[in-house]
Structure 1
Amino acid sequence: MDTRRVNTAQPLLSPTLVIVCVVMALAAAAVNRFALGGSPFAAPGAALRASVQLAAVATVLAVALQRLWSSVLVLAVMFTVASITAARRSEARRGAMWLAVALAAGMIAVIPLLLLTGVVPLKGVALVPVFGIVLGGTMTAAAVAARRALDALTSRRGEVEAALSLGLSERFSTMMVIERPLSDALLPNLDQARTAGLVTLPGAFVGVLLATGSAAQAGAVQVLVLVSLLLAQVCGVAVVGELVARGLLARPQERG
């Protein structure tokens, strides 16, 4: 029996799915309101927004993925939005858009390797999802690394000044303070990689499993995604460290 045909014969999008999602959103709203004292509109509002956004994106991608040039345009838009989002989340008050360089470093470290080896075909339907997953993870890691590094400089500025008074360079003095915050930004993806299959079944694994019915293929794709994320995030965070250490990414009070 063709497992793939069996799995793809039943579409997930159905009235039952809509009803189940509505029930879960309303249940989340009730718990949030009566058990946590929160807003009853938070969960339904987030669910509605996600539905509208995903519907719009799905419509655009259905057209864009048919051509390589339009897929590249989608990637450019994704990268721009990710750069702006990372800049805002970093809470840097000077040089925040330099985080685009950190994101670019992560993508350059991964995407060419995947394309040149043929692991990911040069087709929009394959490139856009992989690019999006890696970009999203790198964006989060870079933003968290920048924010925590800048926070560390604010609270431990005295240590930097002490190191400078001993004749150490400003870059070295700053790196001594921000190395730990930079490393901590990598912990979520490291934990996800360590517990994949034991605690969680990541999205790529579930998606491929539902589409093909092959657990082996789903596992291979998920390993590729996790390792790609590890490399992209490490490179992105390393660039963030250099940006902060060299004063390109800063808060005014930290640079005197």
Structure 2
Amino acid sequence: MVDGQIIVVGWPLAGVLVLLTVVGALVVRLGRLDGWRPVVTAATRATVQLGTVSLLIAAVLASGWLTAGFVLLMYGIAAVTSAGRITRGGGRAAVRALPGPAMSIAAGVGPVLALLVGTGIVPARPVAIIPIAGILIGGAMTATSLAGRRARDELRARRGEYEAALALGLFNRDAALLITRPTANQALVPVLDQTRTVGLVTLPGAFVGVLLGGGDPIQAGVTQLVVLVSLLAIEAVAVLVTIEVVAHTP
């Protein structure tokens, strides 16, 4: 730590970030994993977005209304991002698919966040609500994207089985769930692995954040436990709603 900074800001930091971005893009390109542009775009967007948020966060934290608006903004961006992932692009297809991810994320995050704030586990203060809400919305977004994309891929690859189920008299929803439900739990693998290995393999953001904020290790552990268990419930709901939405519009 230098002068209270965990990460030293300066030209070496900028150079390392550029180098890591280039390495990631080259590996993806040379390994034929995908195009290199998404890596560069993601890194650039993260830089711009975090820079903007860092400048605005003081004003947001000073107002309850701005905090609520910021949380809604995070939710909206998460829904749009997930819709684009599920449809493998943007444009009209993503717009048409938007209500599904929006419903899935809200169904998971809304009740859990209300429970945490309503019981006082998460203080009703902007400085507590914004990071917790961001973590929960991000987890729901990831689970929704993975579940929706896999469900659509399964229906596309196994269209014959889907149509055979319809021919046997199953309703559209039942036929679609017959195809998509067995693989839906794969969307929960990231949060399950993170929860199972927390403290042994990883020290996630909430834990580290409390420590860096001056909290004691017990408080950090409790905070991370609340976040992880909340994510398990949220992502399970998000996955369930997602495959139901896909099943109704296969």
SS of residue paired to 2:10? helix
Letter in 1 for 2:130: V
The residue aligned with 1:154 is 156
**Cα distance change on mapping 1:13 and 1:209 into 2, 3 Å:** closer
Return 5+ residue gaps in structure 1 as ranges: 1-6, 251-256
- C-alpha distance in structure 2 between counterparts of 1:110 and 1:33, whole Å: 37
Q: Could you give the per-residue CA deviations for residues 29-68 of structure 1, whole angstroms, max 9, x where no partner exists?
A: 6756888876999978765543332121012111011111
- C-alpha distance in structure 2 between counterparts of 1:18 and 1:134, whole Å: 32
Q: Could you give the per-residue CA deviations for residues 75-106 of structure 1, whole angstroms, max 9, x where no partner exists?
A: 11111111111111111737411221111101
- C-alpha distance in structure 1 between counterparts of 2:238 and 2:47, whole Å: 30
The residue aligned with 2:20 is 28
Letter in 1 for 2:63: R
- Whether contact under 8 Å (1:205, 1:218) holds in the other structure is yes
- Whether contact under 8 Å (2:25, 2:40) holds in the other structure is no
The residue aligned with 1:11 is 4
The residue aligned with 1:52 is 48
Query: 1:214: how far off?
Result: 1.4
The residue aligned with 1:96 is 97
SS of residue paired to 1:212? coil
Letter in 1 for 2:4: P
- C-alpha distance in structure 2 between counterparts of 1:40 and 1:185, whole Å: 25
TM-score normalised by the chain length of structure 2: 0.85
The residue aligned with 1:135 is 137
- C-alpha distance in structure 1 between counterparts of 2:40 and 2:114, whole Å: 40
SS of residue paired to 2:121? coil
C-alpha RMSD over aligned residues: 2.8
- Whether contact under 8 Å (1:25, 1:44) holds in the other structure is no
Query: 1:165: how far off?
Result: 2.0
**Cα distance change on mapping 1:30 and 1:143 into 2, 3 Å:** closer
Q: Percent identity?
A: 40
Query: How many residues are paired up?
Result: 240
Return 5+ residue gaps in structure 2 as ranges: none
